[in-house]
Structure 1
């Protein structure tokens, strides 16, 4: 108890240093823990299912003329059931799935999408039924909803037997309620509609060729060897789709839990976030060590007094562990304070999609991941406590009253070197991520999305024209058009064949209104657009011609064979971005339609004010209707929402690391000035000026800063390369940006050195010599 009382009094006496240590440690632990929690969140996707290790997702890859088209998770409709039927000794069940739209109640769209799947999906995912049964599952008028969707749609009412509208037009009856599995999955848990019923309604049958639009899952028996399973799947595929000279299909299974964390953008972001979190963890711990080592010369005599009074090395070691523990309790309090401060700061900061930064950050936080926070606190404590405690307790009592302890500068230099390298690493990554995000959002699209909003049209054929006429008559609407999709959402694909039905490649396609090109400011390079309603005429883009091996000048009148039969090329479109810059330029073909699946409006200036007027007009004219208005520029930035969030995380990490490094520099320079006070005073007596003294300390700091910043910048370049490779367009002069980041960091270090040493440089040398 006496020892604890002594420690508390000592910490209060040095309360300035104590508070700085608490802030440094608390900030470091808070941000490091959060980043590690975010990584753990990504790594835990699809682990919410029963026996999730036995759930596999099937993947496919086409090969045309010896060219592999890349792996895809959307498979042919027959694959899941076919594999389950052919390999019953290894596969318990299989199902194709796809999101097919939304449910409506009283013209209000419910928030969670509808999944179409086979009945086996309940066995595959281990879904627990809460109400009803599956007897009516394949009835085209039946639907099954999750408990979360039931609460949203019906509140306290019994949902079984209630009516809902699929896509606001097709009436279905709720036959059962199942337990949802939450948002941490690549599979939506909103509602399930029968795959067989969908096939009957739309008049198609799943097959082994074409229609590759289905995410497919199987449940394997426990202990199944994945290599043997994939060999058997390969045999099944070849039996049903034999290889030809120029065409083949490969399919294989991978654990479902590897799907999300295996996406290139998620994988690269998690790698960089782990590096940032690890750097902050280590640097915050080592910064505490640096501050402790910097105080060694001041505390050595006190340690000597303790040892002369009978204290052993173990007691000194324990004393410093207790000291670190008390400071860490304060650091945990700082973590809690940061939680509330960030909640206030980020609670109103909107990200893409309308979600706040706080919502994006907290989506990863749950009680199941508190072990990550605990692990970070323990690890930082172990590093921060053991090193200085071991160092202080090992000081020989015969030397504590001498200046020998001051020769431990290699510890301080090494620790500050690591901090500078960490700042350079994070600074380089932050600059490149920020610039790359700007490049992606500012890159040319081949169309003009400004002032354009897109409206989902769920109207019946009888009322479509009324909707179009209504929107066109609004005084703040400048122009109107429609299409079946919009560029930033991506388009459906269709195989292109030669005259002998040999597959050549897959092309994206869409149906436009006849004024669509002018509205979107797209360019028709040659020819004309197809006739409205014609399925035998198409306009193609430049990439389509390149894939066909055509000269663009001679493309008009060429015959193209699609899944719907032969088509004549009537027009040539300039290439435009058909998805995001994660993907290369895609071939594209367009037809003209009178069916407005999505209505486009170009609003007059001022856009924001007229957007509000549009929302108000829709709410007043169509009360109770779920009419969703999307800003087309917002849908483009939404494609890079993960990068925007990543940029915010990197910026937070950079600010915290900068704060920690500044604290470390202050402690280092304060100790260096104290240690060299006699030298500085003698130099001033001998004629050295303020600039000379600042240069003396500046050279000392820069000898460490330059190589460490170079090392950190090179590391940032190495870590950023795989992340940048996922984009088809990247920023120019990447080495130049890294050099700019390094020079900026060195300039800041030099400026801080000048500011922190100025007071010592102007001090009276006589006073310094007397004090020494």
Structure 2
């Protein structure tokens, strides 16, 4: 019997090819989209799961409270972890990491007579591998970092320099620019590479025991990434609640020592420290702090894409169920005849269920083919290395097939149980019509589909508008045709000569030494106060020279910028408008300021007095995710005439030739170091990489959702047109025009779309309003967005319906009436 049922099911599916194709296309597309998003979400949720003690590892983060704002930091004062371990019995281990590659990401090592660069190099405490897990290929992780100048490298680094882990073990190298007394470092262990889904990755770990600065007590200045391993059963909330006591006992005396003011005055001015514990396995999705080791993901993106995946899957399932129930009436006579010739109800139920399940399961197989085709593109868009093999695990494959069977069964339930219960004589006489409940259900599902479509259209428009707003907003300086030459600190005393020679290259308009790249988080934290006041203003600082204003095209509000004509400018400072506002300077030009921060003081620690010579208009030196903060621009002449980077503005018509000449000039001054540079506009654009990725993925999957909704509408329109063939023919015989027929067939569907729009608009407005609150600078939520989304949904629906309506309107009425 089953064989016969299967043959009949297959014959019916092939007979109704268009219906089968619509169902398979919609369901397969929906499943493929949902599974692709599931791969992405699973990848985002899998970070830092490789550590045995991962559930008990926490990173200490800091909310540094400044007057009027709060900034989160992933890096904290280096002595806080040791204080926590000493004061909290719940803490089993405290381990620190120091970024030895610096902001430029270049760590220079010498092996033999060759010099190499590494970017992921950290100083690590000796107990690092008692907290974090790693597979040791050579050496013992427990002791590998105990001695000064000991180094642990990963397998990739070992192969790159020595050929294998075995060959690298116990080898030595030198570090250029190392301020340690002994410049020879020994590889004491080689470990397997950490998986990419880690919130930080390393190529080298160097023992901190040989560096005196790591042993200095520091409870105020940020210098180390600090992790705590809590004892089993310890409460992270209880540990976090004890940090105020740590601040009182350890931080407060250091504030008074370093800042020269009482803690009471420090707090009264609006300053403060608030420490948090971040679970290791959640850092990638919950943290967006300053000085993150790698760009993190976004828990909001995970939620958004998960919702889209559910919407798409629901849309596809609704289409399938809707079309199955709608077209079941078409098969009423077939059921009546089969019951007349002896088919039992159980056999008919099995027949309908098997047909639906067959389509559903076949759609899953097609979806795997679609995933295999689309996965490379999806990986390129999302920046991941996802694999379809994840779904081929027996348990996951069984779950997917179970969903397909349940969806198929749901689609087949109505025709299976309702139609099989009708009496044969009633069916054969044509007494079976769609019931009111069935029509209401189908209409409700169409409304639901298009409401989701309108919401997705609005969301897609707003995501694109916000990204365009951030990329196109005036940021207060000229970012085009500027390159940043890196590692110019290697020039030492030749910095002036290098800049002079660059300025003479054809096409180079201006050259400036600077300590930070706009758009990156390497503007250092600094505090200033009026000379006769203890009330400090904390903001961002930068070292630069007298050409910085010309390279970036900054706009002066008053005063002047640094100049070679004034030797006193090495003790001058230029402020932005926000700094003037927070310092409450009515007449900023000539104001005298001092800084309690050691980096801006004299070698003996006494404070310099800085004179304000100019005020630049506020510009976005950080991303638009952050508000403009006070900026203090200091002259680099006081600090060695160089600041690590050289900004070069080049005329657009000589760009490539000028870069080649700059590279040759670099080789002339530094012949044993590679030439590295970046384009400023590209650096700024990378700030919004996460939004760009979200935009592309969101747009693609929203389009897929709308496509699935249209496939369902196309099927229902075809069914409705077929059901009303006799009525259409009679109307045409009585004089109705083709346009009358199209309007008649379209208006009922368009009413449903209009209802969907009315439901979707307030939901979409609320969702987008909430989403935009995540941005400090955001676009407007204009009324035209909703009109455009409603018009787009209506147009898509009209085109979809009209294709069937026009076909019916131009058909010969004689043919259809003859068949009646």
TM above 0.5, yes or no, is yes
- Secondary structure in 1 aligned to 2:652? coil
* Cα distance between partner residues in 1 of 2:138 and 2:746: 74
Counterparts of 1:340-739 in structure 2 under 5 Å? 340-342=372-374, 346=377, 358=380, 360=382, 362-365=384-387, 374=397, 377-378=400-401, 380-382=403-405, 384-394=407-417, 395=419, 396-398=421-423, 400-401=427-428, 402-407=430-435, 408-457=438-487, 459-461=490-492, 464=495, 468=499, 471-472=502-503, 474-490=505-521, 491-497=523-529, 504-530=536-562, 536-551=571-586, 553-564=587-598, 565=607, 566-593=609-636, 594-606=641-653, 609-610=656-657, 613=660, 625-739=673-787
Residue 37 (structure 2) aligns with: 35
* Cα distance between partner residues in 1 of 2:664 and 2:596: 42
Is structure 2 residue 159 aligned with structure 1 residue 146? Answer: no
The counterpart of 1:290, out of the listed 305, 309, 322, is: 322
Checking the alignment, whether the CA contact within 8 Å between 1:285 and 1:380 is kept in structure 2 is no
Checking the alignment, whether the CA contact within 8 Å between 2:33 and 2:701 is kept in structure 1 is yes
Alpha carbons of structure 1 residues 14 and 93: separation in structure 2 relative to 1, 3 Å: same
Is structure 2 residue 776 aligned with structure 1 residue 744? Answer: no
Question: What TM-score do you get using the length of structure 1 for normalisation?
Answer: 0.89
Per-residue CA deviation, residues 234-280 of structure 1 (Å, 9 max, x unaligned), is 32232223462525422232312222221477122222211211111
Shift of residue 672, structure 1, vs aligned partner: 0.7
* Cα distance between partner residues in 1 of 2:526 and 2:442: 64
Shift of residue 314, structure 1, vs aligned partner: 4.4
Residue 266 (structure 1) aligns with: 298
Structure with greater Cα Rg:
2
Residue 259 (structure 2) aligns with: none
Is structure 2 residue 239 aligned with structure 1 residue 229? Answer: yes
* Cα distance between partner residues in 1 of 2:24 and 2:626: 46
Checking the alignment, whether the CA contact within 8 Å between 1:464 and 1:596 is kept in structure 2 is no
* Cα distance between partner residues in 1 of 2:769 and 2:794: 23
Alpha carbons of structure 1 residues 366 and 144: separation in structure 2 relative to 1, 3 Å: farther
The counterpart of 2:120, out of the listed 95, 113, 121, is: 113
The counterpart of 1:182, out of the listed 195, 198, 203, is: 195
Per-residue CA deviation, residues 730-772 of structure 1 (Å, 9 max, x unaligned), is 1134333233222222123223323331111122333222234
Checking the alignment, whether the CA contact within 8 Å between 1:169 and 1:460 is kept in structure 2 is no
Alpha carbons of structure 1 residues 162 and 8: separation in structure 2 relative to 1, 3 Å: same
Per-residue CA deviation, residues 524-571 of structure 1 (Å, 9 max, x unaligned), is 3223345679764321111111122223x4343232434133433222
Residue 291 (structure 2) aligns with: none
Checking the alignment, whether the CA contact within 8 Å between 2:126 and 2:144 is kept in structure 1 is no
Alpha carbons of structure 1 residues 108 and 361: separation in structure 2 relative to 1, 3 Å: same
* Cα distance between partner residues in 2 of 1:433 and 1:49: 36
Alpha carbons of structure 1 residues 631 and 757: separation in structure 2 relative to 1, 3 Å: same
* Cα distance between partner residues in 2 of 1:29 and 1:723: 27
Alpha carbons of structure 1 residues 403 and 186: separation in structure 2 relative to 1, 3 Å: farther
Residue 21 (structure 1) aligns with: 23
Segment of structure 1 superposing worse, 297-306 or 481-490: 297-306
Segment of structure 1 superposing worse, 688-697 or 357-366: 357-366
Query: How many residues are aligned here?
Result: 755
Segment of structure 1 superposing worse, 492-501 or 687-696: 492-501
Segment of structure 1 superposing worse, 17-26 or 363-372: 363-372
Shift of residue 426, structure 1, vs aligned partner: 1.3
Alpha carbons of structure 1 residues 359 and 686: separation in structure 2 relative to 1, 3 Å: closer
Q: Which runs of 5+ in 1 are unaligned?
A: 348-356
Checking the alignment, whether the CA contact within 8 Å between 2:509 and 2:649 is kept in structure 1 is yes
Checking the alignment, whether the CA contact within 8 Å between 2:578 and 2:629 is kept in structure 1 is yes
Segment of structure 1 superposing worse, 609-618 or 725-734: 609-618
Per-residue CA deviation, residues 624-650 of structure 1 (Å, 9 max, x unaligned), is 844322111111111111111111111
Checking the alignment, whether the CA contact within 8 Å between 1:603 and 1:611 is kept in structure 2 is yes
- Secondary structure in 2 aligned to 1:509? strand
Question: What TM-score do you get using the length of structure 2 for normalisation?
Answer: 0.84
Q: Which runs of 5+ in 2 are unaligned?
A: 253-262, 289-296, 599-606
Is structure 2 residue 108 aligned with structure 1 residue 78? Answer: no
Alignment RMSD: 3.2
Segment of structure 1 superposing worse, 367-376 or 630-639: 367-376
Per-residue CA deviation, residues 340-392 of structure 1 (Å, 9 max, x unaligned), is 54367x39xxxxxxxxx626354344755767974883475255312222111
Checking the alignment, whether the CA contact within 8 Å between 1:539 and 1:572 is kept in structure 2 is yes
